[in-house]
Amino acid sequence: MEVVRYFIKGRTLLASDPGLQDALARVYQTSERPRCMCVQGGVEMYVAKHGEFVVKRMPGTGDMHHPTCQSFEPEAGVSGLGELVGEAIVEHNADHVEIRTDFPFSRVSGKPLPRGEANGEPPAVNAPRKKMSLRAVLHFLYHRAGLNRWYPAMEGKRSQGVFKKYLELAAAGVTLKGETLDKRLYVPEPFRVADKDEIGERRRRKLAMLLSPGDDVAYKMAIVIGQFNGVEQTAYGRKLLVKHMPDVPLYMENKAWERAERAYAATLQARDADVERKPMVVMAALIYAKREHIYQIDSLSMMLVSDQWIPLEGLHELPLIEELQQQGRSFMKPLRFDAKSGACFPNALLLDTEGGPFPLHVISTFLEPKEQSAKEKAVQALGSEAWAWHTDKQMPILPARAPARSRGSGVEEANARAAHGDEVTR
């Protein structure tokens, strides 16, 4: 295996082949499926259309792909995803994933909350089902977009354009509250002063649904995902600034922001850490139109990321992530979703080692005692071959790469081109 290839109608095409779109068009909506040739014999894929044709992984086949393939999916238990699959996340078919959340996408005017029966037996007793928080939705989209993965060829190719494109592709085919999530998701496009008016017009068209709530609906809501760029006090509450959306702030009530500031104190302070490459904060805001074209935040979630948009559970992970990048390794960052603790999950998962993915654990001296204990137990469970770095000591040598013929020469580079193409980085 030299590069990522797809086998379609008797022909083998590279992921970067200019004829790939025509080949996919010939099998779209037919019973014939392309095969990802990341492993011998290939793995069946399916074709979706989101503007252009996209090759996607079939449900339940993630672990059949080569670990360095962009379609590879480790077992759900290495992240918080495992707690949600089958309940809050339901794959109905290859191109339809339903998610269930603990927040609404609209408010109904004048409708009281349901109350329990005053007397007698209840008509039914319902078993509670898991639902996703706004943080879990952010992690889910990040995971589907592949933004928690890193291949060496991605260096210098991650940009706001890449961030926007792949989050929107991740939202397509995902339904929430009866409609596809991409219709209620806004990710700012790269801002250019010369194109300010055109960018503003596209944003207003995208968020127009907030201005026409419909019968009995007090207001509709949408999710904005972007880089947090600061907060200012105003006479109307706090004004949150989003990078690449400098002309339109998001407003939040003072008390709500004070709660958010306490909850995300470590995340917000991390932007000023004494490190060479400053981390950033990605925010997901559930918004509604308080008045025409004035956007108010209903709920807020924040996530620390490196300067290359790789998610971080905290600053203690940053040296490991940067060492992996410096050594040209391929890896995945497991995400917590709605798990109460991330201590049992690997801090990173190496994808280029012999014998499959290899977990890496970081034990920070600043972790709370309960978290430290949970992390130590997770490491001990892996046995003597476990890799763990105590941050008050020198980082251990990383596990060796598999030979090129085992990993597939050029696999990582081809996947990087397929996932983060040069055409969206300009």
pLDDT tens, position by position, 192-245: 999 999 999 999 999 999 987 666 667 899 999 999 999 999 999 999 999 999
Residue 95 pLDDT level (bands cut at 50, 70, 90): confident
Q: Are 362 and 347 in contact (CB under 8 A)?
A: yes
The fraction of the chain above a pLDDT of 70, given in percent, is: 88
pLDDT at 290: 86
Of the candidates 417, 401, 411, the one whose C-alpha atom is nearest the C-alpha of residue 38 is 411
Residue 120 Rama label (left phi>0; alpha psi -120 to 50; beta): left
Tokens of 132: 């996703």
Residue 356 pLDDT level (bands cut at 50, 70, 90): confident
Is a pLDDT exceeding 50 seen at residue 302?
yes
pLDDT at 312: 97
pLDDT at 233: 96
Distances (CA, A) of 155 to 29, 273, 409: 36, 22, 18
- Render pLDDT for 44-55 as a digit per residue (tens, 0 to 9): 988 888 778 888
Tokens of 300: 């807020």
Ranked by mean pLDDT, which of 7-11, 26-30, 71-75, 139-143 comes out on top? Answer: 139-143
The fraction of the chain above a pLDDT of 90, given in percent, is: 61
Q: How far apart are CA 418 and CA 238, in angstroms?
A: 40
Is a pLDDT exceeding 50 seen at residue 305?
yes
| Region 13-23 average pLDDT | 87
Of the candidates 47, 10, 20, 67, the one whose C-alpha atom is nearest the C-alpha of residue 411 is 67
Is a pLDDT exceeding 90 seen at residue 10?
no
Residue 333 host element (H or E):
none
Residue 83 pLDDT level (bands cut at 50, 70, 90): very high
**What is the identity of the amino acid at 259?**
R
Is a pLDDT exceeding 60 seen at residue 408?
no
Is a pLDDT exceeding 80 seen at residue 260?
yes
- Render pLDDT for 105-133 as a digit per residue (tens, 0 to 9): 887 755 544 444 445 566 666 666 789 99
| Region 338-342 average pLDDT | 92
Who wins on pLDDT, 389 or 384?
389
Is a pLDDT exceeding 50 seen at residue 248?
yes
Q: What would the 3-class secondary structure string for the chain be? A: CCCCEEEECCEEEECCCCCHHHHHHHHCCCCCCCEECCCCCCEEEEEEEECEEEEEECCCCHHHCCCCCCCCCCCHHHCHHHHCECCCEEEEECCEEEECECCCCEEECCCCCCCCCCCCCCCCCCCCCCCECHHHHHHHHHHHHCCCEECHHHCCCCCHHHHHHHHHHHHCCEEECCEEHHHHEECCCCCCHHHHHHHHHHHHHHCHHHHCCCCCEEEECEEEEEEEEEEEEECCEEEEEECCCCCCCEEECHHHHHHHHHHCHHHHHHHHCCCCCCCEEEEEEEEEEEECCEEEEEEEEEEEECCCCCEECCHHHHHHHHHHHHCCCCEECCCCCCCCCCCCCCCEEECCCCCCCEEEEEECCCCCHHHHHHHHHHHHHCCCCCEEEECCCCCCCCCCCCCHHHHCCCHHHHHHHHHCCHHHCC
Is a pLDDT exceeding 90 seen at residue 384?
no
pLDDT at 321: 98
Who wins on pLDDT, 410 or 350?
350
Specify which residues 360 forms β-bridges with: 348, 387
Q: Are 183 and 176 in contact (CB under 8 A)?
A: no
Is a pLDDT exceeding 60 seen at residue 407?
no
Residue 31 pLDDT level (bands cut at 50, 70, 90): confident
**Domain spans in the chain, listed from the N-terminal domain onward:** 134-311, 313-350+355-399
Residue 172 host element (H or E):
none
Is a pLDDT exceeding 60 seen at residue 411?
no
Give the CATH class of 313-350+355-399: alpha beta
For the whole prediction, is pTM greater than 0.75? Answer: yes
pLDDT at 96: 85
